[in-house]
Structure 1
Amino acid sequence: MKRLSLALPLCLMLGACAVGPDYAGPSLSLPAKWGNAPASKRPLASRTLDEWWKRLGDKTLNSIVEEAVAGNLDVASAKARIREARATRRQAVGALFPSLDGTDSATRSRTSAATSSTGGNATSSLYKAGFDASWELDLFGANYRGVEAATYGADAAEEDLRATLLTLVGDVTSNYVEARGYQARIALARRTAASQRETEGLTRTKFQAGSASAVDVAKAAAQASSTEAAIPSLEAAYAQSLHQLGILTGQAPTALAGRLARGGPIPAARSTPPAGLPADVLRNRPDVRKAERQLAQYTAKIGQAEAALYPSVSLTGSIATSALKTGDLAKNASIGWSFGPTLSVPIFNGGELRAAVEVAQAQRDQYDSAFKLSVLTAMQDVENALVSLAQERLRAGKLSSAATSYRDAARLSRTLYQSGSSSFLDVLDAERSLYSAEDTLLQSRVAVSTDFIALNKALGGSWSKPVDVSSPAVVDVNTGPHPRTGF
């Protein structure tokens, strides 16, 4: 009580004060450079990552990304959360101001003859009008902290939209690259199977001429069938990527089937985006910024909870006029008013208010840990993507050399077989090895582009153009007073 007796006069003299901790950004110890990238002394500017997917050089992909941003349902939900957060902040701001209500009433009454002083029925009218006003003085900053928390919450909602866009663009690009990869692998399997059927025909001809065995014919047919058996699985995987692209753009699963049916190369980027400094993730990653804003929000909520431990003062007042005739309502004799403060002091509540403070503190600590984890996770994402992209590019180079060598070996073995200078087993082995090498190379090229996408996502590359969040997705009509239907 001593603390309250000293704090109340002080806040009354100063006009208002605030309790609870003032938010200060957390200090983190981050490494000076990345472990898997060349050392850099220059921070990474966010504009460096703007429209990073265009570096893959695919106009169809660019248009699909645009459609996804406009039609994706997760983005629509994130926009709605921003409108909700902003409206919540306006609600919190409204608590800082007085409230004023107006009342009007008209009563028509009749007094029975048994109770009337005139001995007969009496009918009269009574008219009333007035205003009621109240204002809670925010002496210890409960409402101020509420506005602060709501402001940080609105900031977090905006960062949530940016994080959603980052994930969306990455998912669209990854699924598009995978779809093109499956198309390339399907085309390869069909070409290889056609070539192997030609080998089967050649072997059957040699068998009829007596220079090949029935075993060679059976093996040639089996190898062609094995290659053809891979096509249905690849077709199914392609369809799944295609369907996911449709959903990501907010359309039916097969909406993009016609546009992708023509086929196209696997998108590839020749360059690697600069990694900058580890500290850049604090500025460029929207999920990290969102976690920091949530930490600030829940720090402010501690002040809200602590303010409930202190007295609250409200000013209330009313003015009313009543008369038997409407023309007499404004006359001085019919006007009454009241005004005065109300003081409320928490005395005993079974520890509920103090427990509420501890709850808020525990929640703040949870978001503090979540923020620090988001920073570490972001750094891990960057390091993993740097290593994966560099190593996969090396692997793709070796696979390309291997495919070239196997292609030469397959051509030579077939030529030698036709001339009778090589066994059929050499042809089978060469064709099998060539198909495996070329298919693995295609998968590696998809992996290189996927790692490029992952690195741009890890660095915080996202949609940079303005996004309209003010327009609701659902426009209600006939919202004014109207006859009810149903229950």
Structure 2
Amino acid sequence: MRLMTFRTAIAAAMLVLVGCTTIGPDFQRPVVVLPDRWSVSAVQTSNGKDLSNSDARWWTVFRDAELSSLVERVAGANLEVEMATTRWMQARAARRMTGGDAEPSVGASASYQHARSSQNGLLDISGLNGKKDYNVWQSGFDASWELDLWGRARREIESADASVEASADVRRGVLLSVFAETARDYIQLRGVQAQQAILRQNLDVARHALRLTQIRLADGVATHLETAEVSAQVSAIEAQLPALENDQLRLINALSYLVGRPPRALENELQAVAPIPPVPPAVPLGLPSELAERRPDIRSAEERLHAATADIGVAVGDFYPRIALSADAGLQAMHFSDLDSWSSRMFGVGPALSVPIFEGGRLKGQLALRKAQQQEAMIGFQRTVLAAWHEVDEAMSDYKTRQERHDKLAATVDQYRIALENANRQYVAGATDFLQVLTVQKDLLATQQALAVSSTDVSESLVSLYKALGGGWETTFPLAISVSVPTELAETPVAAGNGI
């Protein structure tokens, strides 16, 4: 009775050790050093508004249904996103494998063997002295469980959990990147189309002026110089259109690629001219302290640091003894008919202890490696935070600068329009020559094109600002995917034996 009580106490103590002891350092979230407030003078903001309360779908601030549709399709069909999702799924599968190693394992087996033992050997389980063949029938099961006395397995699971979170944040970072790339390509496309529209409008004006000049030349009012000047301007405007048309096709192909479609797949959808998506009057920035919670790269760097810290515990655990409980039971008989008899039973149960005595410095080297990897992960986290801070500051400054330039160009265009109207009136009244009209018209065209480019730049800089702030990655889109090949790609034959 006393012996049973003692064994029970020992078992209870071991279970307490299994549940409580955890070796190695515990992870502490690193302190993020950021300013109390952003430099609000760098960008017009909605002061006091918390970004976490705003719409995570930042692209909707442009109020462009086509852009929103493209982003939704990119989320579900982009191949980079699907690759990142499969890597996240791999991390989850690896976590399940790690967790399974810490649980008891149970297996079953059954076998049959027709054999003969050696007459000159040392072992003859048949008792026939190697003179006859014999049969061996066997069945049973076995179980084993390594007691996690020191918490080594729990540190492995902790590291795997952190790796899963890091992989999920990497996927969110990919989502954010492809959303930003989609928005930039779309805005550039509309900017190119705006430049094309400006050129065509000016081309119509220039051609009309050429016809009038030719009529005036025939009437002896205009000179050949004026006609040549107008004709040259028509050709100069026409020469700019092919490059813009090529830019339009390139951007349509870029968007087609982002949604996982072949070249020109979106040509019919996007070739119709639409305005450049305008920016909102105010941008909610949130607080700098929220940056570490929003940016996927910072979150991923923190989880990598967490995993590296847990790996130190795993390395420390290799120095400690390992105890495993094992048991097996089964049946063995020379004849199948005897397999179910009580005398055919066999079993074994007992603990196994392994203690590292001499490893040639391997364990110490592994622990030193894990500590160095943790230091590297900490430096990587600090670098990521600092780079994010710089990126946000530069994005705000860039947004402000481009807004100011856009406002100046808009005022310049208005002044050139007034100047062109006055030049036309003076030319009709005979107070000036047509060269002055052409000069003002050229300046107006150049400034209009610069304004279109500036409008594109402002909207693009807002996309960069949202990307720097880490918006749009929240749990808006599902993590599960169904990898599919577009019909156009599936019809392409692939030669066998190409090593893919």
The answer on whether the counterparts of 1:44 and 1:280 sit within 8 Å (CA) in structure 2 is no
Does the CA-based 8 Å contact 2:115-2:135 persist in structure 1? Answer: yes
With over 3 angstroms needed to count, the CA separation of the structure-2 counterparts of 1:212 and 1:250, relative to structure 1, is same
Q: Report the equivalent of 1:261.
A: 271
Deviation at 1:186, TM superposition (A): 0.8
User: CA 1:300/1:41 → structure 2, altered by over 3 Å: closer, same or farther?
Assistant: farther
Residue from 199, 212, 215 that aligns with 1:205: 215
Of the three residues 84, 88, 96, the one matched with 2:90 is: 84
Q: Which residue of 1 aligns with 2:27?
A: 23
Partner of 1:412: 422
1:78-130 CA-partner distances (Å, limit 9, x unpaired): 21112111111111111111222222112235799xx99999x9664321112
Give CA deviations for 1:138-168 in whole Å, capped at 9, x if unaligned. Answer: 2222221110011011111211222111112
SS at match of 2:145: strand
1:245 aligns with 2:255: yes
In the alignment, is the contact (CA less than 8 A) between 1:273 and 1:456 conserved in 2? no
Q: Which residue identity does 2:57 align to in structure 1? A: E
Amino acid aligned to 2:17: G
The answer as to 2:327 corresponding to 1:314 is no
Aligned to 1:459: 469
Matches within 5 A, 1:419-434: 419-434=429-444
Aligned pairs for 1:123-202 within 5 A? 124-202=134-212
Match of 1:95 in 2: 101
Displacement after TM superposition at 1:416 (Å): 2.3
Shift of 1:446: 0.8
- CA distance in 1 between counterparts of 2:372 and 2:49 reads 35
Equivalent of 2:283 in 251, 269, 273 = 273
Cα distance between partner residues in 1 of 2:269 and 2:94: 43
Is 1:329 the counterpart of 2:339? The answer is: yes
Tell me, yes or no, if structure 1 residue 233 matches structure 2 residue 239: no
Taking a change above 3 Å as real, the CA distance of residues 207 and 22 of structure 1, as seen in their structure-2 partners, is same
Cα 1:393–1:150 shift into 2, 3 Å: same
Paired residues of 1:49 and 1:460 also in contact (CA < 8 A): no
- CA–CA separation in structure 1 for the residues paired with 2:127 and 2:36: 96
Secondary structure of 1:15 counterpart: helix
Instruction: Confirm or deny: 8 A CA contact 1:272 1:452 kept in the other structure.
Output: no
Contact 1:406–1:430 under 8 Å retained in 2: yes
Secondary structure, aligned partner of 1:97 = coil
Distance 1:424 1:159 in 2: 63
Change (3 A) 1:250 1:216: same
1:233-275 CA-partner distances (Å, limit 9, x unpaired): 1111111111111111111121111111221111112222221
Query: Could you tell me which of 51, 59, 63 is aligned with 2:57?
Result: 51
| 2:347 partner SS | strand
Q: Is the 8 A contact 2:141 2:329 kept in 1?
A: yes
| Aligned residues of 1:245 and 1:253 also touching (Cα < 8 A) | no
Q: Paired residue for 2:490?
A: none
The residue number in structure 2 matching 1:67 is: 73
Q: Alignment identity in percent?
A: 32
Segment of structure 1 superposing worse, 347-356 or 64-73: 347-356
CA 1:110–1:152 in 2, change beyond 3 Å: closer, same or farther? closer
Residue 32 of structure 2 contacts residue 292 of structure 2 at CA under 8 Å; is this kept in 1?
A: no
Q: 1:328 to 1:228 in 2, by over 3 A?
A: same
Paired with 2:197 and 2:37, the residues of 1 have a C-alpha distance of: 44
State how far apart, in whole Å, the 1-side matches of 2:453 and 2:45 are. 31
| Unmatched 5+ stretches in structure 2 | 1-12, 119-123, 486-496
Alignment of 1:254-403 (within 5 A): 254-403=264-413
Is 1:97–1:135's contact at 8 Å kept on the other side of the alignment?
A: yes
- Whole-Å separation in 2 of the counterparts to 1:175 and 1:12: 62
| Structure 1 gaps, min length 5 | 1-10, 476-485
| Counterpart contact for 2:32–2:385, Cα < 8 Å | no
**What is the total number of aligned residue pairs between the two structures?**
466
TM-score (norm 1): 0.88
Partner residue in 2 for 1:479:
none
Cα distance in structure 2, aligned partners of 1:188 and 1:13: 79
Give the equivalent residue in structure 2 for 1:106: 112
CA apart distance, 1:180: 0.7
Q: Is the 8 A contact 1:80 1:472 kept in 2?
A: no
Q: For the structure 1 residues 457 and 118, does the alpha-carbon distance in structure 2 shift closer, same or farther, using more than 3 Å as the test?
A: closer
Runs of 4+ in 1 over 6 A off after TM superposition: 38-41, 115-119
**Aligned CA distance change for structure 1 residues 111 and 82 (closer, same or farther; 3 Å):** closer
**Which of 229, 233, 243 is residue 223 of structure 1 equivalent to?**
233
SS in structure 1 at match of 2:351: strand
